[in-house]
């Protein structure tokens, strides 16, 4: 079974995740529906379960734009990851889980907005279309949102490791080896800080404003430390 080395510097984007086995066929994403400094113990338990089960990466996802872009960058940098295990609740304000599932199913339109999602500002304009399409081809979604307990997350990761196809949650899972194309080393370009690039409509302008406000809060947080 073919395994490959991830892109140099992997994982390329920082975030709230735990790095595990680089040759694991699974990554775990748990939707976060609270402030990042008030993560509920139940969410932390799901993230730990993913890491303990042997996931390559296991962490939380909060926003349907920059957050998803970071997930994409880290996964396409590691072709060994073939399953994305989604767990946790929904983020009522962002509808991030809905956005992630719609992205994998439908892709993005010509304005870089995720097709057929109810999420707020689901625009992916900080990464390339090549990275987005590679992400969609490389991974299979294992949707455990709303019903995932820690043991279920562990079992999902375990199913991804099996040598022979094993039925789990209505999906046949096994370790199929690395995706047969080289890793993509791509980081977020932060178009939101480059207004001369030009945005297409009022929806994208609002998305940029929200992203800029988020970056400002993060920057001020770390300046205080």
78 vs 191, higher pLDDT: 78
What is the arithmetic mean of pLDDT over 81-107? 95
pLDDT score of 91: 86
Q: Is 171 helix (H, G, I), strand (E, B) or coil?
A: strand
219 vs 136, higher pLDDT: 136
What is the largest distance, in Å, between two alpha-carbon atoms of the chain? 52
Q: State which H helix or E strand residue 159 sits in.
A: helix 150-160
CB proximity list for 46: less than 8 A, separation 6 or greater: 28, 30, 87, 88, 148, 149, 150, 153
pLDDT score of 161: 97
How far apart, in whole angstroms, are the C-alpha atoms of residue 168 and residue 195? Answer: 46
pLDDT score of 40: 87
pLDDT in tens, 176-187: 999 999 999 999
pLDDT in tens, 18-42: 999 999 999 999 999 877 667 889 9
Kindly report the average pLDDT of the chain as a whole number: 88
pLDDT score of 196: 36
CATH topology of domain 17-190: Rossmann fold (3.40.50)
Is it the case that residue 53 has pLDDT exceeding 70? Answer: yes
Q: Do 191 and 16 contact (CB within 8 A), yes or no? A: no
How far apart, in whole angstroms, are the C-alpha atoms of residue 160 and residue 166? Answer: 8
What is the arithmetic mean of pLDDT over 122-150? 94
Q: Which of 25-39, 66-80, 185-199 has the lowest mean pLDDT?
A: 185-199
What is the arithmetic mean of pLDDT over 189-198? 51
189 vs 25, higher pLDDT: 25
Structure tokens at 116: 């057929």
Strand partners, 17: 59
How far apart, in whole angstroms, are the C-alpha atoms of residue 100 and residue 144? Answer: 13
What is the arithmetic mean of pLDDT over 166-191? 91
Q: Do 80 and 170 contact (CB within 8 A), yes or no? A: no
How far apart, in whole angstroms, are the C-alpha atoms of residue 122 and residue 114? Answer: 6
What is the arithmetic mean of pLDDT over 133-161? 95
Question: Domain boundaries in the chain?
Answer: 17-190
Q: How confident is the model at residue 93 (pLDDT cuts 50, 70, 90)?
A: confident
Q: Do 82 and 142 contact (CB within 8 A), yes or no? A: no
Q: Tell me the percentage of the chain whose pLDDT exceeds 90.
A: 73
């Amino acid at each position: 079974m073919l395994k490959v080395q991830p892109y140099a510097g992997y994982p390329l984007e920082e975030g709230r995740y735990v790095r595990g086995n680089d040759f694991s066929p699974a990554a775990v994403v748990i939707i976060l529906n609270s402030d990042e400094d008030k993560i509920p113990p139940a969410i932390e338990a799901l993230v730990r379960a993913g890491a303990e089960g042997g996931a390559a990466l296991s962490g939380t996802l909060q926003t349907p734009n920059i957050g998803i872009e970071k997930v994409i960058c880290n996964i396409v940098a590691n072709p060994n990851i073939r399953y994305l295990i989604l767990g946790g609740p929904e983020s009522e304000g962002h509808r991030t889980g809905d956005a992630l599932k719609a992205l994998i199913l439908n892709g993005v339109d010509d304005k870089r907005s995720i097709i057929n999602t109810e999420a707020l500002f689901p625009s992916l304009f900080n990464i390339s279309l090549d990275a987005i399409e590679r992400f969609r081809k490389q991974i299979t979604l294992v949707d455990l949102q709303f019903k995932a307990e820690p043991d279920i997350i562990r079992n999902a990761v375990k199913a991804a490791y099996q040598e022979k196809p094993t039925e789990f949650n209505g999906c046949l899972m096994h370790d199929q080896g690395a995706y047969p194309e080289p890793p993509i080393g791509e980081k977020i370009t932060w178009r939101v800080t480059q207004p001369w690039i030009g945005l297409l409509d009022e929806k994208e302008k609002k998305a940029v404003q929200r992203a800029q406000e988020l970056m400002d809060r993060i920057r001020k947080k770390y300046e205080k430390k």
